[in-house]
Amino acid sequence: MTDPLTLLRTDDADRLTALTSRLAAEAEREGLLDLAYRTVDSPVGPLLLVATPEGLVRVAFAVQDHDAVLAGLAVAVSPRLLPAAGRLDPAAQQLDEYFSGRRDAFALPLDLRLTGGFRRRVVERLTTIGYGRTGSYAELAAAAGSPRAFRAVGTACATNPLPVVLPCHRVLPSGGSVAAGRVGGYAGGAEAKRWLLGFEAAHR
């Protein structure tokens, strides 16, 4: 026995997925897509990628709770946020190349609006530590112009809005190393940091 209303309320999930993609494409054309996101699989778990029209604005690990990250961006940047593959295609492709050992640096437009001041100066200098190498918080503090601010450097790394792409995983506490089992904290968890360092060392 099926009531007509029950039947009329049946969902059509595939159709809604297609409609949502179409909406994102139309929103992009109309200049209404302030934030586009998608997730990609990686050896360190699913990564959330979010971009403004200016560039990649956020990368987040699953342990950071993707839903919470998106909710935060809706408040901090704009609520006009939709899943959209197109804008994130270049980032997804370069991450895929990175995780298959075929890319040692990212060439993507970045939007650093989620960081500012000293923290921004720090994350902008992360790429000076090359693929497969490591640096210390103290060295990075000196490079950012405040040699004594290594604690603030630690905070800047912990709040890096673009982990992996801006390689805060290459920054270790003084005397730290993968071999010594001391790699310091990481937004994606110490295990992810060890994996990234080991992977880069093996593909250098």
Strands 35-40 and 81-83: parallel
Q: Does 83 bind another protein (CB under 8 A)?
A: yes
Q: Which is nearer to another protein, 79 or 147 (CB)?
A: 79
Q: How many chain residues touch another protein (CB under 8 A)? A: 34
80 forms part of the interface with another protein (CB under 8 A): yes
**Is residue 71 a contact residue for another protein (CB under 8 A)?**
yes
Q: If binding is defined by CB under 8 A, does position 74 make contact with another protein? A: yes
47 neighbors 164 (Cβ within 8 angstroms):
yes
Tell how far CA 34 is from the center of its chain: 17
Does residue 11 belong to the site contacting another protein (CB under 8 A)? Answer: yes
Interface with another protein (CB under 8 A), residue from 47, 49, 60, 73:
73
Place of tokens 């990628």: 49
Catalytic residue among 153, 168, 192, 196: 168
26 binding another protein? (CB under 8 A)? yes
Please report how close the Cβ of residue 22 comes to another protein at its closest, in angstroms: 6
105 scored as a contact of another protein (CB under 8 A): no
Q: Cα separation of 141 and 152, whole Å?
A: 8
- Is 78 a binding residue for another protein by CB under 8 A? The answer is yes
Alpha-carbon gap, residue 97 to 125, rounded angstroms:
22
168 is catalytic: yes
Beta strand spans in the chain (E): 35-40, 47-51, 56-61, 81-83, 135-136, 171-172
Read off the DSSP letter of residue 112.
-
Distance, CA of 108 to CA of 110 (rounded, Å): 6
Q: Tokens for 51, please give them.
A: 């971009």
Query: In this chain, which stretch among 24-32, 41-49, 94-102, 138-146 interacts with another protein, using CB under 8 A?
Result: 24-32
Contact (CB, 8 A) for 39 and 66: yes
Answer yes or no whether residue 23 interacts with another protein by CB under 8 A: yes
The yes or no reply on residue 180 touching another protein (CB under 8 A) is no
What is the secondary structure of 38-75 as a DSSP string?
EEE--TTS-EEEEE-SSSEEEEEEGGG-HHHHHHHHHH
Supply the minimum distance, in Å, between the C-beta of residue 74 and another protein.
4
Residues found near another protein in the complex (CB under 8 A): 1-5, 7-12, 15-16, 19-20, 22-23, 26-27, 30, 32, 35, 37, 70-71, 73-75, 78-83
Which residues are the active-site residues? Answer: 168
